[in-house]
Amino acid sequence: MAEKVLMSGNGAVGEGAIQAGCRYYFGYPITPQNELTAYMAERLGELGGVFIQSESELAAINMVFGASAAGARAMTSSSSPGISLKQEGISYIAGAELPCVIVNIMRAGPGLGDITPSQADYFQAVKGGGHGDYRLITIGPASVQELYDWTAKAFYIADKYRNPVMILGDGFLGQMMEPLEIKKIKEPKLSKKTWALTGARGRKANKIITLMLKVGELEEHNKKIQNKYKIIEKELTEYETVLTDDAEIILVAYGMCARICKESVFLLRKEGIKAGLIRPITLWPYPSEIIRKISNNVRYVLTVEMSAGQMVEDVRLAVLGRCPVYFYGRMGGGVPTSEEIIKKVKKLNRKD
C-alpha cells in the first residue's frame, strides 16, 4: 500500500484535481473552502499551471467555460453563496456540453448565513440551480479519501459525458483532516476533443453555441442532452449499503450525515434494533432503484440531512408509498449526532 499523508478535505480535492491532470483553476475566496484555493495556487505554481484569483464567482465560472472550451481540464470551487453566483455559468456550460468540475463546500444559508457546515444546497445542485432543462452530475463524497478519489474521477466523468460535474461536500468534510492515500490515477482512454477551440488549422472552424434560433433546433438539442442524461443515469449511479440484508429499518443519508448514520446503525444493532444504511454516492443520478428495492422489505425509512429536508423528497419518490418515510434534520450549521438519530429511531419504533 502506498504511503499515507494527513490532509484536509479541501486539500484532498485539490490534489485529486492535480493528479487528474487539471492545470487550470479559477476561484474567488470564500470560507470554508479557502484551503482549496490556496492549495491550487501553490501546486499549480509548482507545476507551471494557471491559477487565477478572479474578480468574482461570475468571472471564475466563465474562465472555466473558456478554458474548457479551449479543450483543457478546468476547475472552480466555492461555497454556497458563491455557488449561487455561478449558476448562470453552470447553465451555459451544461447547454454548451462543456466538461468541467465545480466544487461546493457547503455552508449554512439562506443568505450570507454562516460558515458552519450544511447540506442545504442539495436542491440547487441536483434539481438545476440555473435556468433551463439541464442536469449537473453531482457527487457526495463522505471522507477525505473519497474527496480525493471522486474529484480525480470527476474529470474523467466530465470529459466522457461532456457535462459539468459537481463535488458536493460541506464545511465539516472540507476542514477535517484524515489520512489520505494519494493513488495514481488510471483512467480509460477517451476520444480526442475534436470540438475544442484550438484555431481552425486544417479543419472547419469550431463553434460553441447555446443560442439556437431556428424553429425546432433548440428542441432537438434539448432532446439530445436529455438522451445523454438517460445514459448517465444508467451508467453512473453509485451508492453504498451497510447491513441492509436483514434490516427492518433503513437510514438514508449522504456525505457527512452518512458517516454519523453509519455509527448510529452500529449502535442500534448493539441494542438489537435491526437498522441498515443506504448511502447515495451519486446524488444525480440518484440511486432510486436500490432504495425502491429495499423499501419493500422494511418497516420504514428515515432520511437524515443537515437541511430542512431536501434529499428526503427523492427518497419519497423512490419509495412511492411502499413504507413510511420519516425525516430528521438539523439546519443553520447544526450537525445531527448519533445519539439524536438513535433517539429518533426509538421514538419512531414506539409510534410504528
Partner 1 sequence: MKKIFGRPKSMTDKPFHYCPGCGHGIVHRLIGEVIDELGIQDRTIGVPPVGCAVVMYHYFNVDMTEAPHGRTPAVATGIKRVHPDKVVFTYQGDGDLAAIGTAEIIHAANRGERITTIFVNNTVYGMTGGQMAPTTIVGQKTTTTPLGRDSRLIGYPIKISEMLAITDGSVYIERVAVNKPTNIIKAKKAIKKAFQVQLEDKGFSMVEVLSQCPVNLAMTPKEACEWIDNTLIKTYPLGVIKDKSGE
333: helix, strand or coil: coil
26 binds partner 1 (CB under 8 A): yes
Number of other residues whose CB lies within 10 A of the CB of residue 216:
8
Which cell numbers in the block locate residue 187? 483512467
Question: Residues 184, 192, 207, 270: which binds partner 1 (CB under 8 A)?
Answer: 207
Number of other residues whose CB lies within 10 A of the CB of residue 227:
10
1 binds partner 1 (CB under 8 A): no
Q: Please report how close the Cβ of residue 253 comes to partner 1 at its closest, in angstroms.
A: 35
Cα dist. 289→67, 75, 185, 236, 314 in Å?
37, 31, 30, 13, 11
Beta-strand pair 50-53/24-27: parallel
Q: Please report how close the Cβ of residue 51 comes to partner 1 at its closest, in angstroms.
A: 10
Q: Are 69 and 208 in contact (CB under 8 A)?
A: yes
Show the binding pattern over residues 164-203: x = contacts partner 1 (CB under 8 A), - = does not: ---------------------------------xxxxxx-
205 binds partner 1 (CB under 8 A): yes
25 binds partner 1 (CB under 8 A): no
Who's near 335: CB < 8 A, 6+ residues apart? 117, 172, 256, 260, 306
138 binds partner 1 (CB under 8 A): no
Question: Residues 19, 31, 41, 50: which binds partner 1 (CB under 8 A)?
Answer: 50
Task: Give the number of residues in contact with partner 1, rule: CB under 8 A.
Answer: 40
64 binds partner 1 (CB under 8 A): yes
Which cell numbers in the block locate residue 164? 459539468
Measured from the CB atom, the residue of 26 and 39 that comes closer to partner 1 is: 26
Q: Please report how close the Cβ of residue 220 comes to partner 1 at its closest, in angstroms.
A: 18
End-to-end CA distance of the chain: give it in Å, rounded.
47
Q: Which residues within the stretch 65-84 sit at the binding site for partner 1 (CB under 8 A)?
A: 65-72, 74
Which cell numbers in the block locate residue 262? 453509519
Question: Residues 38, 59, 242, 267: which binds partner 1 (CB under 8 A)?
Answer: 59
The H or E element spanning position 242 is strand 239-242
48 binds partner 1 (CB under 8 A): no
- Closest among 272, 246, 273 to 345, alpha carbons compared: 273
Q: Please report how close the Cβ of residue 205 comes to partner 1 at its closest, in angstroms.
A: 5
For 233, what's the count of Cα atoms within 13 Å in the CB-facing half-sphere? 12
Question: Residues 38, 58, 290, 335: which binds partner 1 (CB under 8 A)?
Answer: 58
Q: Please report how close the Cβ of residue 133 comes to partner 1 at its closest, in angstroms.
A: 17
85 binds partner 1 (CB under 8 A): no
Q: How far is residue 291 CA from its own chain's centroid? A: 19
Q: Please report how close the Cβ of residue 107 comes to partner 1 at its closest, in angstroms.
A: 24
Which cell numbers in the block locate residue 113? 448565513
Which residues contact partner 1 (rule: CB under 8 A)? 24, 26, 50, 52, 54-56, 58-60, 62-72, 74, 88-89, 92, 96, 197-202, 205-211, 213
